[in-house]
Structure 1
Amino acid sequence: MPNEFLVDKSSLLQGVTRYIEKNLINGTFLIHRALLRQLEQESKQGLVTSDIALEEIEKLKELSERYLFAVELVGKENGDTEQELRNYCLERGCNLLTADELTKKMADLLGIGVTFLDPLPEPLTIETFFDESTMSVHLKEDAVPKAKKGKPGDWEFRIIRDTPVTGGEIKKIVSEILNSIRWTKGSFIEIERKGSTIVQLSTYRIVITRPPLSDGWELTATRPVARKKLEDYALNPELVKRLEERAEGILIAGSPGMGKTTFAQALAEYYMKMGKIVKTIESPRDMHLPSDITQYSKNYAEIGELHDILLLSRPDYTVYDEMRNDEDFRLYIDLRLAGIGMIGVVHATTAIDAIHRFLNRVDLGTVPGILDTVLFINKGTVEKVYSLEMTVKVPEGLREADLARPVVQIKDFLNDRVEYEIYVFGEQTMIVPVGRLNLNTLENRITRAISGVIPDAKVKKENGEYVVEIPREGISSFNRKINTKLRKLEKKHGIRIRVKLQDKES
């Protein structure tokens, strides 16, 4: 009697037909109706893994005609699929064919015959598209393959093959990727939704989409080309001191592909080497960190679960990569207010845009307690560093003393100059660029408005207003045109300008 093998989903994803073609396994292959029902339901839900498994069954039938072996449809559709497969093997005395370690272990415990498919040592097609300078590969059905080559902030988009990639070719690559997950360390399906699948395959982050979500099969594979240490960034010693001693509410901002996650990774390792307990929250998990740092997946845990785990385990720092929605920001805020050091990574075109995303989620007075250091990453370098402080004052641009109120000052950390002020005016939270209201800047503008006609005029600030002092011999040159310019400056900047004659001593 020939060997009989009842296939499960893992053996189909592993590519049982490859083992048949290499003459590593032969006999009669049995397909259980309960498995077909499961694959049909999952395929209707848009799961890519089920589509791949169904296509493998089709290929198995084609091979049976070429190599003259039998493929039989067996069993009934009732009940749990795994239980149905086990029961059928016990009744018929056939072997359960699997590539899943847990299924093999359970079969051994239950006394069920089992044949385990060990991984085949074959190179992955997706790896052939990469070289040492490739950041990401972009494959789209009926389009030529392209790749980003270079480094964060300094890359080129290049065609890497002249002939378009077909849908069948992408499916084959996807099948290889899914097959290799079980035996490649640090690999897993991070997210599987209707029409999309996100896979972490060792150092590769792979996003797969298919119709109807996309207009054709598409695969994007990203690989980090740079793994930096914090020392490689040549940071200002004062900034390093702040990161070591004071910074506990850190925000890392920047545009996509500029090196935010690479910097966050370097900072996490730096804190670990300082003897700090560091954990990460990622979606998907694509940081490459030492085993001392625990990496949590937001996709495999409820937000409340992560909240409880981190509050109870009390890490010194938690890196929250790719903060996007309200839940992400709320968790960051809650953990920070609980006293846990937080490092958040957000997409933003400017550093102030990143801060703005917190303002509608918390009271103004708590902002400096949540965020104390904001780093803006551009082209792989730290381009801007802000510190946040709370004070009570009359906001710049306002003059009345009774308008004093709590103001969050956003300072350029390296020169301690205030660049923005945040305060509540009426019911609206205002973010005002102080640079435009800077005394020297306004003095220069007022001076330029009058110096062409009265070169010896002087401008200074007294008691919240700007005073233009005109020499007595220049009073005859003061005309309506100059006065109009000064009134426009008043209106534009919300300031007051007063004109007077210079004292004789001046």
Structure 2
Amino acid sequence: MQVIYGIFHLVTFFKNLMNDLIIVNLKKKIVLDTSIIIDGDISQKIDNKDIDENFEIIIPRAAIDELQSQACKQKEHGFIGLAELRKIREKCSENNILVRIYGEKPNLEDIKLAKNGRIDALITDIAEKENATLFTADYIQHLTANATGISSVHIRSPVSASFNLENYFDDRSMSVHLIEGVEPLAKKGTPGEFTLEKISDNKLDKQTLNQIMNFLFSTENNKKISNIEISFDGCYVVMYKNLRIVITQPPVSNKIEITAVRPIKKLSLQDYQLDTTLVDRLSKEAEGILIAGRPGSGKSTFASSIAEHYVQNNKLVKTLESPRDLQVPENVVQYGSFKNGYERVADILLLVRPDFTIFDEVRRIKDFELFADLRLTGIGMIGVIHANEALDAIQRFIGKIELGMIPHVIDTVIFIHGGKIEKIYELNLTVKVPAGMVEQDLARPVVEIRDFFSKETEYEIYSYGEENIIIPLKNIDKKIDKERNNRINKLAESKIREVIGKFDPKAEIMIISNDKIRIVVNKEVIPRIIGRGGSTISEIEKTLGVRIDVEAKVPLIGNEIAFSITESGSRIYLLVDEMHIGKKANLFLGDELLITNQIGKKAKLKLDKKSEIGRKVFNTIMSNNQDSMKLYESKDE
């Protein structure tokens, strides 16, 4: 009977244990990170019965250690967080809510990498392992958790308007630069004329920058106010009203940095006081326009004014930009990138058939290819591109698309400096003999770059062999003309040396005229250069576009070297004094140079009897005519 009662009690025990386990497994697990503990929202939710006995609260040990570390450094947030933890445990005990501390203590490496997000990563790992929901007040942490498939709830505490980024701007501010551990800075002035100034003596800490970020992200659902344009681990690009804001933090940067840029003012095309001929060209002729300039020069402002001009002239205008920060009229639709590329968006553009598309920030190779592709389909294109000079904007297309296609893609280049138009080029393709060449059979396609107002050609671009050459033509006096010819000669010599160097790397090249050169090479390579029936030299002349005279190189000789002769098997050795070891020597048979070679470590110059030179030397020895052989020091390098 006692055995039966024992079995009954044992069954009852296991049954209750299983019920307890089922109840625990049915509870909703939530993991708290450091930010939500500091904010004090969890204790309030317990008071409001938003969190009750149906929940299990998991507190990562890493979060406790981080709060303890902050408190040891006398930081207020550490004390606030530890006090909140005590409050959470007391309220959970009163309301029968299960609380569990979980995870290992951070090691030394974790602590060192805390600023790089290691502690946050440990906390999200716990949420994933426990199949729990992460509760956080840090929007970045929330985004990161969601991006990795972890359930996350972002609890937004009211953010004070004092953390509004606009508070750092005044009427003269172009951009604001907020860096962790540094006083806030601002660029003030106008494009081309600005200074970097401190706007406060108080250094920014991580908590303040996080509050600024929380303020921005707290309005992320209101697309007219704030929009996340680019987002990846450690970097965000946000549009807030008319501000373009770039946020970087570890691992992209070693500390938090927030950069906000705003347009100084919106201009119309009339504000630039353009010449009527230029306005006519923009309105009627130009369809492949590049707006070039240095960063902050006012390129995007001018592009916006062109967009407004086309809209006023009943043109359908779209933009390709990432981030979408151009200040354009309401009826201009702004397209952004899709999965870090514009290819699919470009397909949509062809379907909506715009008259003009503004491509902001043409920078990557695919951007140049896409710009050219859209232009060649018949869409008018305005590209905004970074360049130090107007010519640089054109040069950036060389190599990305065929040289002959450039004038069909780009017809007008407008260079902006300090918010003003400094230079305008127009491009034209023609077939002619390039400047500096005289032979008519050297005619080739040439891209002419002309000043828009004077119509004077300032540069020519053409192909020479496999190289693309840009030649400046404007204001060439005798000195400049000589320097230019020297540059052409150097380029020509480089190309010639590349071809002839395959036969003799140390060939001497002399440019006699624009269509004739002389090359001096070692005697033994001349037959290979000439080829059978002159076939090889004819092919080289055709490739280089010049006539070639070939001469044998006459070596520079020094003192005569005494030698003796020995034979061994298939070798002939010329023995010299040890003082000549490592030096080059020329062996002559009468007036004929047989060979130039280096004397070996054993003070020997060796010849193979089976070689042509070896046979000549052997025959000379056998005919007892070895006095006709002379050995001299070589002065050639």
TM-score, structure 2 normalization: 0.55
State how far apart, in whole Å, the 2-side matches of 1:34 and 1:122 are. Answer: 32
**Segment of structure 1 superposing worse, 120-129 or 310-319:** 120-129
Q: Which residue of 1 aligns with 2:5?
A: none
1:371 corresponds to which residue?
410
Aligned length: 406
Q: Structure 1 stretch 215-224 or stretch 415-424: which is displaced more?
A: 215-224
Match of 2:272 among 224, 233, 238: 233
For residue 117 of structure 1, report the CA deviation from its aligned partner: 7.9
AA aligned to 1:28 is: D
Over residues 125-158 of structure 1, what are the superposed CA-to-partner deviations in whole Å (9 max), with x where a residue is unaligned? Answer: 3221111111111111111111001111111100
Paired letter, 2:259: T
Matching residue of 2:313? 274
Distance 1:60 1:143, change over 3 A: closer
CA deviation map 1:297-342 (0-9, x unaligned): 1145743311210111110011110111011111111100100000
Q: Give the Cα separation in 1 of the matches to 2:294 and 2:219.
A: 32
Unpaired runs of 5+ residues, structure 2, are 1-27, 64-76, 101-125, 140-152, 490-511, 514-637
Alignment of 1:51-450 (within 5 A): 63=84, 122=161, 124-183=163-222, 185-299=224-338, 302-437=341-476, 441-442=477-478
Whether contact under 8 Å (2:30, 2:57) holds in the other structure is: no
Q: Secondary structure at the match of 2:220?
A: helix
Task: State how far apart, in whole Å, the 2-side matches of 1:35 and 1:226 are.
Answer: 52
Contact 1:181 1:201 in 2 (8 A): no
Assess, with a 3 A threshold, how the Cα gap between structure 1 residues 306 and 20 changes in structure 2: closer, same or farther: same
Change (3 A) 1:436 1:415: closer
| 2:346 match: secondary structure | helix
Query: How far off is 1:187 after superposition?
Result: 2.0
Q: Distance in 1 between matches of 2:323 and 2:30?
A: 27
Q: Percent identity?
A: 39
Q: Quote the Cα distance in structure 1 between the aligned partners of 2:454 and 2:235.
A: 47
SS in 1 for 2:219: helix
Pairwise CA RMSD: 4.5
For 2:208, give the aligned amino acid. E
What is the CA deviation profile of residues 282-306 of structure 1, one whole-angstrom value per residue up to 9, with x for unaligned ones? Answer: 1111112222111111145743311
SS in 2 for 1:358: coil
Task: Provide the C-alpha distance between the structure 1 equivalents of 2:427 and 2:461, rounded to a whole number of angstroms.
Answer: 10
Instruction: State the distance in 1 between where 2:154 and 2:203 align.
Output: 39
User: Does the CA contact (< 8 Å) of 2:362 and 2:368 recur in 1?
Assistant: yes
Confirm or deny: 8 A CA contact 2:179 2:204 kept in the other structure. Answer: yes
Q: Which amino acid aligns with 2:411?
A: D
Q: What TM-score results when the alignment is normalised by the length of structure 1?
A: 0.69
Distance 1:184 1:213, change over 3 A: same
Please state how far the C-alpha of 1:183 moved relative to its aligned partner: 3.0
Superposed, 1:41-52 pairs within 5 Å as none
The CA deviation at 1:269 is 1.4
Higher RCO (C-alpha 8 Å, min separation 6): 1
SS of structure 2 residue aligned to 1:216: coil
Q: Which amino acid aligns with 2:392?
A: D
Kept in 2, the 8 Å contact 1:119–1:180? The answer is no
2:288 & 2:37 partners in 1: Cα distance? 48
Contact 1:280 1:296 in 2 (8 A): yes
Q: For the Cα contact (< 8 Å) 1:34–1:78, is it kept in 2?
A: no
> Deviation of residue 213 (structure 1)?
2.3
Cα offset, 1:277, TM superposition:
0.7
Mapped to 1, the partners of 2:164 and 2:57 lie a distance apart of 33
Report the more deviating stretch, 388-397 or 282-291.
282-291
- 3-state DSSP class of the match of 1:272? helix
Unaligned 5+ residue runs, structure 1? Answer: 1-5, 41-55, 86-96, 100-113, 447-485, 497-506
Contact 1:317 1:343 in 2 (8 A): yes
- Check the 8 A contact 2:433/2:444 in 1, yes or no: yes
Q: Decide whether aligned partners of structure 1 residues 425 and 115 sit closer, same or farther in structure 2, where only a CA change above 3 A counts.
A: closer
Which residue identity is paired with 1:340? I
Larger Rg: 2
**Do the aligned partners of 1:283 and 1:299 also contact (CA within 8 Å) in 2?**
no
CA distance in 2, matches of 1:115, 1:266: 41
Which residue type is aligned with residue 395 of structure 2? H
**Who is 1:462 aligned against?**
none
In 1, the alpha carbon distance for the partners of 2:412 and 2:127 equals: 59
Q: Deviations over 1:334-371 (max 9, x none)?
A: 10010000011111101111101111011122111100
In structure 2, the CA distance between the partners of 1:289 and 1:19, relative to structure 1 (3 Å rule), is: farther
Q: CA separation in 2, counterparts of 1:222 and 1:212? A: 23
Q: Which residue number in structure 1 is paired with residue 50 of structure 2?
A: 28
The Cα offsets for residues 216-267 of structure 1, whole Å up to 9 and x where unpaired, read as 1111111111211111111111111100001100101100010111111111
The answer on whether the counterparts of 1:282 and 1:321 sit within 8 Å (CA) in structure 2 is yes
How far 1:171 moved relative to its partner?
1.5
C-alpha change, 1:176 and 1:118, in structure 2 (3 Å) is: closer
Moved more, 268-277 or 237-246: 268-277
From the superposition, tell whether residues 16 and 290 of structure 1 become closer, same or farther in structure 2 (CA, over 3 Å). farther
> What's the offset of the Cα at 1:212?
2.8
Aligned AA (1:214): S
Q: Using a 3 Å threshold, how does the CA distance of structure 1 residues 132 and 36 change in structure 2: closer, same or farther?
A: farther
For the 8 Å contact 2:40–2:84, the answer to whether it is kept is no
Contact 1:28 1:69 in 2 (8 A): no
